[in-house]
Structure 1
């Protein structure tokens, strides 16, 4: 089962970015930056997965103390767009994950963007992989900020639940939908807001994938989240 964060694109933002490879010479360049989701950036075609955090999925909602819900996934995306919209962004390079994405900490001046999202309650500390933001999360939790207003499912459990349900309903237990549209070859994971609306026509060349990595390797991309 592959439950890593999907590659998804949101509004394009044009800013100056510095990519810094840890232990190597840094490289500065003007780049096109897209916010993919609440914890992922696309910098001039290079995908940066923010180290040590996990934001709610784009279509995920969270609870308020009164029992009502709010679009926490959408707000995490909007918060990241705001954070990177006006200033120079610096991202280090901590290696690649299994999807070819660069893991990194991104900063604006001295401000750690990863930490900022956790402190706002718009991302969890991804303790499975790093404890770097655990104390910041504890403070946000104590202050009932963002996702900590009320009991809310974590993004990794949200993805796992969506995946488990979808794999029972799809051919050969491979629930990722490879759809062909005007935008090209696009895949939809079970947690995509458009997942249930997407139909697969094998006759048109559309297909099913067993993992996001398989879809990416075959040349398909995740949907663009746009405004």
Structure 2
């Protein structure tokens, strides 16, 4: 991944040429490779009397002519291209300067002014920005790698952290324990249902609702972890 300077002294963080080629061409190339090799592997497994998923190997192994392989390769290449489009659409291009951070994810642009920022850190593959009330003003998967991102934020004077500074405050949410206000319990219950349905947009909106009630939430596998907001 790469960083470059603009006339406004911003550091732009996006895919490197190699990274962009890998994202745009990799899934389609993998689809073509699978189309070419899968029938041969399936026929070998049938000859070896491999019992698991036998019907699957029979169907895949029936692709035994060049035109069938070609059709399968075309289908998988198209599916791979769609995966590439989705990866680019969901990843974030950053522009960091001393005054603000601009985060472009698909058609959505988020701008965070420097005075708002209290902490910036990586959490897994995601970049997280917290404001001065410890609310999550941005969370997303950047196009650049962690190293260049950290250098850019540090060079422009942002409070980079090695991890979530409020990590010790999080607690697992356990339903119906009377530990939290009724309104907060209701939002966490609704969000748990949204997570089970893989409704990420709805889960994000409910996260915002929790912050308005004075609480932050993050996900740990299937669990929701909560903490009170903390003013700096």
The normalised TM-score by structure 1 is: 0.28
The normalised TM-score by structure 2 is: 0.28
Greater relative contact order, per chain length (Cα 8 Å cut-off, separation 6+): 1
The structure with the largest alpha-carbon Rg is 2
